[in-house]
Amino acid sequence: MSTHAETHTHEDDHGHHHKETFVTKYIFSQDHKMIAKQYLITGLIMGIIGILMSLLMRMQIAWPEEPNIIFKALLGKWADGGVMDADIYLALVTIHGTIMVFFVLTAGLSGTFSNLLIPLQIGARDMASGFLNMISFWLFFLSSVLMVCSFFVEAGPAAAGWTIYPPLSALPMAQGGSGAGMTLWLVSMAIFIASSLLGSLNYVVTVINLRTKGMSMTRLPLTIWAFFITAVIGVISFPVLLSAALLLIMDRSFGTSFFLSDIFIQGEVLHYQGGSPVLFEHLFWFLGHPEVYIVLLPALGITSEVIATNARKPIFGYRAMVASIIAIAFLSTIVWGHHMFISGMNPFLGSVFTFTTLLIAIPSAVKAFNYITTLWKGNLQMNPAMLFSIGLVSTFITGGLTGIILGDSALDINVHDTYFVVAHFHLVMGISALYGLFAGVYHWFPKMFGRMLNKNLGYVHFWVTAVCAYGVFFPMHFIGMAGLPRRYYTNSNFPLFDDTQDVQVLITVFALVGGLVQLVFLYNFVHSMFYGKKTEQNPWRSNTLEWTAPIEHMHGNWPGKIPHVHRWAYDYSKPGYDDDFVPQNIPLKQGEEELQH
Amino acid sequence: MTALLTILILLGITIAIWQMVKIFDLTQTNRDASQVANDKDNSINGYLMLGFLGFIYLITIISFALWGDLPLVSNSASEHGPEIDRLMIISMAVIFVVQTITQFLLHYFAYKYKGEKGKKALFYADNDKLEFIWTIIPVIVLAGLIMYGLFTWNDIMIIDEEEDPLVIELYAQQFNWKARYAGQDNVLGEANVRLINLDNANILGLDESDPNAQDDIITTELHLPVGRPILFKMRSQDVLHSAYMPHFRAQMNCVPGMITQFAFTPTITTEDMRLNPEIYDKVSNINKIRNEKSIKLQAKGEEPLDRYEFDYLLLCNKICGKSHYNMQMKIIVETEDNYNDWLKEQRLFKNSLVQN
């Protein structure tokens, strides 16, 4: 990223006529657009695996006693006679969580769209370092492979929950999955973190240094603001998880006692002394909570862009939107203790974390209200991306509101680790971020592949998914409030919960339908990639710079000069223009004022 | 073989869906090739948004009607329980109001302002006053909830030693619970897992030379006297567990290497709780469900299920390994007299040791 390279590539395109082979173009590519596609496709494959696991879990919970030939077919020795093994259930819980949070909604979402959009929307030829970017993807790919491989080790994959609290995760004798499976999990995550850090550093540097002329920070589209702040949180918090993982590896393999003390298991006392599992919880959640926003903020950024474009209206309260992203990012690093109210930490800390946690509701509320106001008196173009964005706002509100209960330490006592928590976080970060991912794919598919996705299939995909998402997670709050703990392999040992079983069955039916309808999306994706209708240059009539680049991908993004920017990204339906959009590279007319935003 | 067949069937279903979608796809593409929403799409999806609002309301109403009796917001059996329940109900009410209004606005706007060709949206980018309003309203509401929450939290967590609480240790191990009563002196003897000696049945690792330990009592059932504050000291010998007693609105993790604590006062005996009309109905309903299931089981030649009788329970609520789903202990709340009678029958620690 020398100054020479910058001045060289920034203004003129000297015709990047490198010779490209299949390998440099499709595999070890350093082009951000190709890397984005690699991230997306890897993320989707991991998503299929993750969703499939959740369906297996749901079937087990709904029909625990009955032998199931699907289990037998897919789980092999882990489902002897078609009855799922208790260990593999916990492994599914663990790997489903890990894959969805990190591999799909962090790498698949942020990796795809940060890579695709940061250079294109700020007017840069590529990322600051294409080489690091390539390394970042391949590390991610390697960690994905390792994570999936853990299903093929003798004693099964990691099964201590995605939070891998020691001592359960540290002691192979505590659980089958804490042997080689856990080693693979830790190595995979360490590599994943390295990938994520390389990616995040690249995004931060690119946004700060490579903006085109006129693209001041206050003119950045909200997508870029979201990706930028997300990368900053990632750089701050991921190293802490790395340290936790390394210390855990030390405890597991080298006899240290960072997290372990006074343990008697299987008839013998272990040598560990002086460590504390609570320390691990602190380290884990110092990443774990910001991670929620690493997942969510890019989805909100995408939603901001998609809603403004399709409402043909400026996003309402641009400054407030930026301020709330920054406020959420800041607060996200000081709320981790709300996962630990009843961990045994000092109750006074609980009070502090209740306070900071409930504060985060304020910027979140501002964002929700601003989205709603953006719709008001708009001219709403109901493209599939727009539907997913509206759906996101809906689930973000429904899921976010129950955060008021979970963030309140006094109430958390009784709903902690019940299905209520499962319902809450799946709606507010799982489904919302997934909708963000879908909105992004529907919106930028033309930019990525030069072809359009079929909109009618998009409508079917959205509406069935939307109904199923509520069908799965809304009733789940009620069984959670009944006191039903999560991560139970079966509830049949507790007659107390027999009256929740019909709800479990209903949830599973919704989950199965919701899972199957994703095939419609997959079909649409694969089919349209090759046979979709060819796109126009700017199909959604959008203002941002990526749509000024030619449809055919080229190294350096724009032939000739990079466009200059003269206005913010949200001049939709501006009075004084015939068209209802004014791209950022159109100079202000004489006497036209750029909106004071 | 069945495995192969199942995979083939699943594959078949996938291909069938794929083909159906493809046919759907082919019939659609010719009519409108642009794949950008037109007025008709806007209109249909606008109405669907309105329908979806109805669906959200409907699922809310159905959930409350069918499962509204599931949530633990009444009949708490501890002194602080009603306080948590009240806060829960207030929070739920706030959530309910906000949810109803915001979902209405979101979906109604999506319907009302559905796009039409030639129409132009209002260029409306900012309004400081509005934004101030919807910053300040959440601030006020949340300030109220935070204050209420913190007072409740402090009430529960700050333990008043002067009330002379009964000290009981909850001891967790994969995959069962034990309770240790402090005995006459109400002081638990020193203990550490390093002192566990299975040969002489010192299973909780008590210090055999500690005078305070001699009268401790180890049990596998948790009996509590009604109306007396109880201070639980939690220990775990292997991995993290969580002592969850939902009826008492009580939960605390058990952490190897440290002692955690939680205190509450049980207010209703097991006997009285069984007679509570709501609990009685709940139990009858559960037994109805169990009966139906038993009939099905018997038809298959299997054992029918036992009748369910209400009992307070201690559950493990932190993933702890293979049998996490079945780690429980019965809690019996009884009158002081009954409790004392029961306690007298139990063996003191010093008498429970096996002499070699």
Higher pLDDT pick, A393 / B6: A393
* Coil/strand/helix, residue B179: strand
Report the pLDDT value the prediction gives residue A315, as an integer from 0 to 100.
Answer: 94
pLDDT digits (tens, 9 = 90+) for B141-177: 999 999 999 999 999 999 887 888 999 999 999 999 9
Q: Decide if pLDDT at A516 tops 80.
A: yes
Report the pLDDT value the prediction gives residue A351, as an integer from 0 to 100.
Answer: 94
The verdict on residue B127 lying in a domain is no
CA-nearest residue to A314 within chain B is B125
DSSP calls for A206-246:
HHHH-PPTT--GGGS-HHHHHHHHHHHHHHHHHHHHHHHHH
Instruction: State the nearest Cα–Cα gap between A184 and chain B, in angstroms.
Output: 19
Residue type for position A64: P
The percentage of chain A sitting over the pLDDT mark of 90, rounded to a whole number, equals: 87
Confidence of residue A12 (pLDDT cuts 50, 70, 90): low
pLDDT digits (tens, 9 = 90+) for A471-482: 999 999 999 999
Cβ atoms of B122 and A377 closer than 8 Å:
yes
The verdict on residue B40 lying in a domain is no
The verdict on residue B125 lying in a domain is no
Host H or E run for residue A134 = helix A130-149
Report the pLDDT value the prediction gives residue B31, as an integer from 0 to 100.
Answer: 52
Instruction: State the nearest Cα–Cα gap between A10 and chain B, in angstroms.
Output: 32
A492 closest CA partner among B177, B294, B353, B244: B294
DSSP conformational letter for B218: E
- HSE (side-chain half, CA atoms, 13 Å) at A332: 26
The verdict on residue B67 lying in a domain is no
Instruction: State the nearest Cα–Cα gap between B280 and chain A, in angstroms.
Output: 12
Report the pLDDT value the prediction gives residue A9, as an integer from 0 to 100.
Answer: 46
Q: Which positions ≥6 away from A37 have C-beta within 8 Å?
A: A112, A448, A449
The verdict on residue B247 lying in a domain is yes
Instruction: State the nearest Cα–Cα gap between B344 and chain A, in angstroms.
Output: 30
Report the pLDDT value the prediction gives residue B32, as an integer from 0 to 100.
Answer: 55
User: Cβ A344–B21 below 8 Å, yes or no?
Assistant: no
Q: Decide if pLDDT at B4 tops 80.
A: no
pLDDT digits (tens, 9 = 90+) for A335-381: 999 999 999 999 999 999 999 998 999 999 999 999 999 999 999 99
The residue-averaged pLDDT of A201-224 equals: 95
In this structure, what are the phi and psi dihedrals at residue A8, rounded to the nearest 5 degrees?
Answer: -70, -50
Higher pLDDT pick, A433 / B21: A433
Q: Which of A390, A488, A499 is nearest residue B289 as measured by Cβ atoms?
A: A499
- Counted domains in chain B: 1
Q: Decide if pLDDT at A228 tops 90.
A: yes
| CB neighbour burial string for A67-99, b if at least 16 within 10 angstroms, e if fewer | ebbbbbbbbeebbeebbbbbbbbbbbbbbbbbb
The verdict on residue B243 lying in a domain is yes
Report the pLDDT value the prediction gives residue B22, as an integer from 0 to 100.
Answer: 73
**Does the predicted model carry a pTM greater than 0.90?**
yes
Q: Parallel, antiparallel, or unpaired for β B312-316 and B328-334? A: antiparallel
Report the pLDDT value the prediction gives residue A597, as an integer from 0 to 100.
Answer: 46
Report the pLDDT value the prediction gives residue B34, as an integer from 0 to 100.
Answer: 80
Domain, as residue range, for B243: 162-272+307-352
Instruction: State the nearest Cα–Cα gap between B295 and chain A, in angstroms.
Output: 15
Confidence of residue A8 (pLDDT cuts 50, 70, 90): very low
The verdict on residue B65 lying in a domain is no
CA-nearest residue to A354 within chain B is B146
Report the pLDDT value the prediction gives residue A2, as an integer from 0 to 100.
Answer: 40
Query: What are the chain A neighbours of B194 within 8 Å (beta carbons)?
Result: 262, 264, 269
DSSP calls for A323-368:
HHHHHHHHHHTT-GGGG-TTTTS-HHHHHHHHHHHHHTHHHHHHHH
CA distance A28 to A35: 9
Q: Which two tokens stand for residue B92?
A: 């739920």
Confidence of residue A5 (pLDDT cuts 50, 70, 90): very low
Query: What are the chain A neighbours of B152 within 8 Å (beta carbons)?
Result: 410
For each of the domains in chain A, give its residue range(s) and CATH number, in order of start. 23-259+275-548 (1.20.210.10)
CA distance B12 to A467: 26
Report the pLDDT value the prediction gives residue A17, as an integer from 0 to 100.
Answer: 53
The verdict on residue B284 lying in a domain is no
Report the pLDDT value the prediction gives residue B16, as an integer from 0 to 100.
Answer: 76
Mean pLDDT of chain B: 91
DSSP calls for B219-270:
ESSEEEETTS-EEEEEEESSS-EEEEEGGGTEEEEE-TTS-EEEEE-B-S-H
Mean pLDDT of chain A: 92
The residue-averaged pLDDT of B87-113 equals: 96
Report the pLDDT value the prediction gives residue A80, as an integer from 0 to 100.
Answer: 85
Q: Decide if pLDDT at B352 tops 70.
A: yes
Report the pLDDT value the prediction gives residue A596, as an integer from 0 to 100.
Answer: 54
The residue-averaged pLDDT of A514-521 equals: 94
Report the pLDDT value the prediction gives residue A7, as an integer from 0 to 100.
Answer: 42
Strand partners, B172: B177, B236
The residue-averaged pLDDT of B330-347 equals: 95
Identify the CATH number of the domain in which residue B331 sits: 2.60.40.420
Q: CA torsion sign, B8 to B10 to B14 to B16?
A: positive
User: Cβ B258–A496 below 8 Å, yes or no?
Assistant: no
User: Cβ A498–B126 below 8 Å, yes or no?
Assistant: no
> What count of CB pairs under 8 Å joins A to B?
434
* Coil/strand/helix, residue B174: coil
CA-nearest residue to A576 within chain B is B123
Query: What are the chain A neighbours of B326 within 8 Å (beta carbons)?
Result: 493
User: Cβ A459–B45 below 8 Å, yes or no?
Assistant: yes
